[in-house]
Amino acid sequence: MKGVYTAIVTPFTKSGEIDYPALARLIAFQKKGGVAGIVVGGTTGEAATLSFEEKKELYAFVKKEAAGLDLIAGTGTNNTAESVKLTEMAQGLGYTQMLVVTPYYNKPTCRGLMTHYRAIAATGARIVLYNVPGRTGLNLPAAWLKELAALPQITAVKEASGNMAQLVDYLELVGDTRFAMLSGDDFTITPFVALGGVGVISVLSNVAPAETVALTNAALAGEFATARRLQRELNALNRVLFIESSPIPAKTALHLMGYCEEILRSPLETMEPQTRAKLVDVLKGYRLI
């Protein structure tokens, strides 16, 4: 794993169904932008409000439509049995890599996490462990990651705490070869790669794939003067994409860019007028609309 993986949104029709023609347009946009891969059914894809059958249909569509890209299916939940079931379903569709978030709400101990990930690892799938304390209420300490390193099926880590000191703690205890370390925070691509990361699972690349690829590739090539400049240039866009809960601004931006409807599943709602106006201004500034 290396480069930009887009945590792709799940577009919906006005009647609330998954909008597959819009998704095909989004995938084509990602391919044109040069991303390495796509993560389907993650946080940005509103996985929490997708049913099992919807995920099965969605994953099958992406597997076919995004052929040629490195694909990862989001199969993590706060229910171990459900996570195993989702993982086995995705495997049946041809996926080999799964994004598995640390269980939210339950707040398990390290031993509980080991039991959870061991059960999913038993499927044979390769696991991208996803640490996102702002969503789950559980931060993964470095000592726990060292314990989880005993499970060979965990091959990568999406670290979305935004805490560079924690990344250094991870690397201190597990080294920089045990896991493919991927930033889960677009604000930190340059420092993350500088410290030993290999890429990003990105929200930003939904709306600016080519620009996110240019930034990440510069950092991976050690061209840090260029990477720093691009990181700064994209900062205002990054900031506005998180002005409300993600993926609300990203999906709104894609609507304004002509790719999909501005439809989110409850309890998410469309943007507030004042924040939407700010988003419009920033998108115009980047000539995205």
Per-residue pLDDT tens over the stretch 200-223: 999 999 999 999 999 999 999 999
Mean pLDDT for 140-165 is 96
Q: Report percent pLDDT > 90 for the chain.
A: 99
How are beta strands 126-131 and 154-159 bridged, if at all? parallel
Confidence of residue 188 (pLDDT cuts 50, 70, 90): very high
pLDDT of residue 169: 96
Mean pLDDT for 168-196 is 95
pLDDT of residue 269: 95
pLDDT of residue 284: 98
Which fold does the domain 3-221 belong to in CATH?
A: TIM Barrel (3.20.20)
**Contact by Cβ (8 Å): 72, 100:** no
pLDDT of residue 79: 96
Mean pLDDT for 146-153 is 97
- Computed over every residue of the chain, the mean pLDDT equals 97
pLDDT of residue 132: 95
158 is catalytic: yes
Q: Give the DSSP per-residue string, 174-231.
A: HTTTSSEEEES-GGGHHHHHHTT--EEEESGGGT-HHHHHHHHHHHHTT-HHHHHHHH
Which residue among 95, 130, 170, 259 is the active-site one?
130
Mean pLDDT for 154-167 is 95
259 is catalytic: no
Angle separating helix axes 209-220 and 224-233, nearest 10 degrees:
150
Which residue among 158, 170, 251, 259 is the active-site one?
158
pLDDT of residue 190: 97
Per-residue pLDDT tens over the stretch 38-77: 999 999 999 999 999 999 999 999 999 999 999 999 999 9
How are beta strands 37-40 and 3-7 bridged, if at all? parallel
Mean pLDDT for 79-100 is 98
Q: Which of 219, 20, 37 is nearest to 126 (CA)?
A: 37
Per-residue pLDDT tens over the stretch 3-47: 999 999 999 999 999 999 999 999 999 999 999 999 999 999 999
